[in-house]
A and B are shown apart, each in its own frame.
Chain A
Amino acid sequence: MSHFIDRRLNSKNKSTVNRQRFMRRYKKQIKHAVSDAVTQRSIQDVSSGESISIPQKDLSEPFFHQGNGGKRGKVHPGNDSFVTGDKIKRPPPQGGAGSGEGEASDQGEGNDDFVFQISKDEYLDLLFEDLALPNLEQKQLDKLIEYKTYRAGFTSDGVPANINIVRSLQNSLLRRTALGAGKKRRINELEQQINELRQVKKPNLILIAELEQEVETLKNRVRHLPFIDTFDLKFNNFVQRPVPSSQAVMFCLMDVSGSMDQATKEMAKRFYVLLYLFLTRSYQHIEVVFIRHHTQAKEVDEQEFFYSQETGGTIVSSALKLMHEIVQERYPENQWNIYAAQASDGDNWADDSPTCRKILEDKLLPWLRYYAYIEITNRPHQSLWREYEKLTETHPEFAMQHIRSVNDIFPVFRELFKKQAA
């Protein structure tokens, strides 16, 4: 009567659609959680998913239910000490054997947030959703070209270092066999003939001598076949193929002088994260160099870059000079795609700004894929902005944007890269 069915091989993701519906409905909250997460992780940490936390109250499904209060009876098991008429102190509302548990448990898990995991791809998609990535594709063609050597079979000429020994000796054996086989066969025939002639009672010695002479000549010829000939030689063949360089270096430059507060730095951080994430979609290997500066520039690690306190004036050119030195020293421009993002509140020594422009124009921009400058400030622009503005007209790889609040970052990022594509 019973009927058994093995469902184990049925598709298992029956709930996928419902999960997507859930993500769709709470997109706003999830995106909020994602953008929070951005500030909390290292900008190079893009390989993991993210744990998303949504306030429980946003998710609740309301229904009519009884609240606390009123008069309730409840039966409990395991009486160990009570007799009728005992008066018990009311336990604190949260715990255990009080009143109205049935209802309390219905109301959900209290104030805990609803936490769940999203995958790396979901994370990135949410993060990049507004950025209209298709616009960026043109940018990818612009990558640095490197040549890489590939094996491409065998050729008959080349340099001795590329000689393929196995192939060459195979040819040698082949040639020697081909040239010697006829002669060896003839030698065998002649020797057999000599033997037969000797069997006769009265051997024809003259004929034998002639034949022996011939055998000797042939053997000599076989001996003189060269063991190896230039004709035998085979060389490994290599060709050069162009490949887009898969390595990039990203310079993060930031002003850490007294005028930059932590909130401004956080904003800058998001921008760097976005740039980094964007680069990971195009390059396999990415290095990040952090340069911070006040009156002097210094290369630092990420932690120090974002979170150490400095005070002092601002000389932007110091950072650009340092960047130039690092490029010269470690990142030859024919091997690395160089990107740079500079964040500042726009403060600079007025005298220094023209210097900055000059360094950029002469020493850096020719070798850079892209240079983005963002100014995070609510005040009017100063000399640095005006100097940089001159650059934008002549250099398409230079872009600058003004950010006032966190909300501006996504649009600005999109703006920066759109401009490049156009």
Chain B
Amino acid sequence: MKKTKHLPHGPDWDFDLLALYDKEIQRVANIYRLNTYPNQIEVITAEQMMDAYSSVGMPIGYRHWSFGKKFIQTEQTYKRGQMGLAYEIVINSDPCIAYLMEENTLPMQALVIAHACYGHNSFFKNNYLFKTWTDASSIIDYLLFAKQYIEQCEEKYGIDEVEDILDSCHALMNYGVDRYKRPQKISLSEEKRRQQERTDYMQSQVNALWRTIPIKPEKTNPAAARFPNEPQENILYFIEKHAPLLQPWQREIVRIVRKISQYFYPQKQTQVMNEGWATFWHYTLMQHLYDEGKLSDKFMLEVIHNHTNVTLQPPYNANYYSGINPYALGFAMFTDIRRICEHPTDEDKEWFPDIAGSNWLDTLHFAMQNFKDESFIGQYLSPKLIRDFKLFGVIDDDSKNYINVEAIHDEAGYQKIRQQLAEQYNLSNIEPNIQVYSVDLNGDRSLKLRYVPHQKIPLGESTQEVLKHLHRLWGFDVSLEQEQDDGKIHILAKVPPNIAVSDDLI
């Protein structure tokens, strides 16, 4: 038997070895048609990794105390040894930036290159959510623009002023996301030019909206002329366009926070898929190299060891159980899809008639490109996986004093569990549905939000605080109301709160 020469197996690495491994991994990735952005692989120290952590994965971040808080937290837990640092961080940009920790051994570096630079990278480039909602080529430019702009604002208007606005925007960050419109692609210089235009234009629009000179006395029924015409889910966008008292630079900051929130939105929706895809490929690529005889046993054992750690799923009653591990679930699902394609059982043929026996690579790419967590699980979670994970679904209804087991891994339960798990990853079930409902244009300019509860789940306790932030941005009274099942409107919170009293009296 012809014996191929092993690649060097470390454990120490140098840049030549990294390049060698990258070349090999890339060659294999091409065999599997992994289509990626060019890679920019940066080696950093543990301390720099903590910096990267605290800026929530933005390679260039504007300055804000909350990032300092995260940094201190990370530093503390790391120093006490409560937490290891990630082996890598990867940025959805073109070229795709991946940070590798210098402390990793050579097998780890190879694993991480396969995971981040070919797994995540190809996911960023090909998944429909990322393609639609993020623009990898301009994000670095945009972050740079944001940082510089906010710095300029700090110089001009003072750190405190800027911090106030940023605090308020951060409180509403999750509500700065468009779900149905596609953002435009623009470059840094273009962004700067347009920013000026926008500033002028927006200010004039706001003025028009609040113009005190009466336009025409064609006033009809005030209830009919509701503004906005339809409820708005993107609260920050609404603030940016319509808040009456904001300065132009404040509007721009609202916009920056909104843009960044939008950029991260797809990552929130594809945790399981993204990690599963990357894990599947680091496993498959390294296995392929091993089969070719390029990797020594020693090297492969370390790879497998780390892979196993990452994909560990503790059972519900373990002390260290903290929900379903997205790496484990995602990896198992992609592996399972491949199995269904290559070695379908009768059960698979019944459940997945369209993919059982098909080309596994085509199917896998299709699944990666066209789904998010919720739909991916709804489409591909197989009975075999439910049995393997021993999944069971519970319903916790606060009107009952026990938790009910709805379904377990049996014939009757597969459908239910699949649906329940898919819903668990539906962001609109997790994030409260709050929308801008109306503005009292002709009266006190108060802003009304409306909360529509999902499954009667009430809002958490920081609601009043968030409203205070919204009040700062809007500049006039703000209230949050809830539409109950019987159609009655119930006011949850108001800022300033004293209005609530007078309102009740009326």
Q: Is A62 an interface residue (CB 8 A)?
A: yes
Q: Is A150 an interface residue (CB 8 A)?
A: no
Q: What is the bound-complex CA distance between A65 and B459, given in angstroms?
A: 6
Q: How far is the CB of B281 from chain A (nearest CB, A)?
A: 15
Residues of A within 8 A of B75 (CB): 116
Question: By the criterion CB–CB under 8 Å, are B19 and A72 in contact?
Answer: no
Closest to A6 in B: B43
Main secondary structure on B side of the interface with A: mixed
Closest to B61 in A: A18
Residues of A within 8 A of B410 (CB): 84
Q: How far is the CB of A122 from chain B (nearest CB, A)?
A: 12
Residue total for B at the interface (Cβ-Cβ under 8 A): 101
- CB-contact partner of A1 in B38, B175, B454, under 8 A: B38
Report B56-83 CB contacts with A as 1/0, cut-off 8 Å. Answer: 0000010111111101110110000000
Question: By the criterion CB–CB under 8 Å, are B39 and A70 in contact?
Answer: no
Q: What is the bound-complex CA distance between A25 and B166, given in angstroms?
A: 13
Identify which of A94-102, A125-133, A252-260, A309-317 touches chain B: A94-102
Closest to B79 in A: A117
Q: What is the bound-complex CA distance between A126 and B18, given in angstroms?
A: 47
Question: By the criterion CB–CB under 8 Å, are B395 and A71 in contact?
Answer: yes
Residues of A within 8 A of B72 (CB): 19, 22, 116
Question: By the criterion CB–CB under 8 Å, are B456 and A71 in contact?
Answer: yes
Question: By the criterion CB–CB under 8 Å, are A87 and B402 in contact?
Answer: yes
- CB-contact partner of A2 in B41, B73, B323, B460, under 8 A: B41
Residues of B within 8 A of A105 (CB): 322-323
Q: How far is the CB of B102 from chain A (nearest CB, A)?
A: 6
Closest to B121 in A: A2
Q: Is B297 an interface residue (CB 8 A)?
A: no
Q: What is the bound-complex CA distance between A101 and B321, given in angstroms?
A: 11
Residue total for A at the interface (Cβ-Cβ under 8 A): 67
Q: How far is the CB of B462 from chain A (nearest CB, A)?
A: 4
Identify which of B133-141, B218-226, B351-359, B429-437 touches chain A: B429-437
Q: How far is the CB of A125 from chain B (nearest CB, A)?
A: 17
Given known contacts A8-B45, A64-B174, A80-B317, is B76 in contact with A116 (CB within 8 Å)?
Answer: yes
Question: By the criterion CB–CB under 8 Å, are A82 and B65 in contact?
Answer: no
Q: What is the bound-complex CA distance between A23 and B39, given in angstroms?
A: 37
Question: By the criterion CB–CB under 8 Å, are B431 and A73 in contact?
Answer: no
Q: Is A89 an interface residue (CB 8 A)?
A: yes
> Using a CB-CB cutoff of 8 Å, which residues 390-407 of chain B contact chain A?
390-399, 401-407
Report A334-372 CB contacts with B as 1/0, cut-off 8 Å. Answer: 000000000000000000000000000000000000000
Identify which of A9-17, A217-225, A407-415 touches chain B: A9-17
Residues of B within 8 A of A1 (CB): 26, 38-39
Q: Is B347 an interface residue (CB 8 A)?
A: no
Q: What is the bound-complex CA distance between A102 and B48, given in angstroms?
A: 29
Residues of B within 8 A of A7 (CB): 42-44, 48, 99
Closest to B40 in A: A3
Q: What is the bound-complex CA distance between A227 and B321, given in angstroms?
A: 94
Question: By the criterion CB–CB under 8 Å, are B403 and A69 in contact?
Answer: no
Given known contacts A69-B456, A103-B430, A116-B72, is B43 in contact with A79 (CB within 8 Å)?
Answer: no
Closest to B453 in A: A70
Question: By the criterion CB–CB under 8 Å, are A3 and B41 in contact?
Answer: yes
Report B8-50 CB contacts with A as 1/0, cut-off 8 Å. Answer: 0000000100110010001000000000001111111101101
Question: By the criterion CB–CB under 8 Å, are A63 and B173 in contact?
Answer: yes
Q: Is A401 an interface residue (CB 8 A)?
A: no
Give the number of residue pairs across the A-B interface with Cβ within 8 Å: 280
Question: By the criterion CB–CB under 8 Å, are A88 and B43 in contact?
Answer: no
Question: By the criterion CB–CB under 8 Å, are A2 and B163 in contact?
Answer: no
Closest to B22 in A: A2
Given known contacts A5-B40, A22-B68, is B405 in contact with A70 (CB within 8 Å)?
Answer: no
Question: By the criterion CB–CB under 8 Å, are B408 and A2 in contact?
Answer: no
Q: Is B455 an interface residue (CB 8 A)?
A: yes
Given known contacts A15-B68, A73-B395, is B402 in contact with A83 (CB within 8 Å)?
Answer: no
Closest to B395 in A: A73
- CB-contact partner of A18 in B64, B167, B313, B459, under 8 A: B64
Q: Is A67 an interface residue (CB 8 A)?
A: yes
Residues of B within 8 A of A90 (CB): 396, 401-403
Q: Is B128 an interface residue (CB 8 A)?
A: no
Question: By the criterion CB–CB under 8 Å, are B395 and A17 in contact?
Answer: no
Most buried by B among A68, A70, A76, A77: A77
Closest to B117 in A: A2
Q: Is B85 an interface residue (CB 8 A)?
A: no
Residues of A within 8 A of B491 (CB): none
- CB-contact partner of B457 in A15, A25, A70, A85, under 8 A: A70
> Using a CB-CB cutoff of 8 Å, which residues 447-473 of chain B contact chain A?
453-463, 465-466, 469
Q: Is B475 an interface residue (CB 8 A)?
A: no
Identify which of B243-251, B361-369, B420-428 touches chain A: B420-428
Question: By the criterion CB–CB under 8 Å, are B457 and A72 in contact?
Answer: yes
Question: By the criterion CB–CB under 8 Å, are B469 and A62 in contact?
Answer: yes
Question: By the criterion CB–CB under 8 Å, are A75 and B420 in contact?
Answer: yes
Interface set of A (CB-CB < 8 Å, partner B): 1-8, 10, 12, 14-15, 17-26, 59-80, 82-90, 96-103, 105, 107, 114-117
Please provide the 3 A-B residue pairs with the shortest distance between their CB atoms, ordered closest to farther: A78-B315, A70-B457, A99-B396
Can you list 16 residue pairs at the A/B interface with Cβ under 8 Å?
A3-B40, A12-B47, A18-B55, A61-B167, A62-B171, A63-B173, A64-B175, A65-B462, A66-B454, A71-B395, A73-B395, A73-B406, A82-B405, A96-B317, A100-B396, A114-B69
With A25-B163, A69-B456, A70-B397 given, name 6 new contacts (CB 8 A). Answer: A2-B26, A8-B48, A18-B55, A18-B64, A72-B395, A72-B396
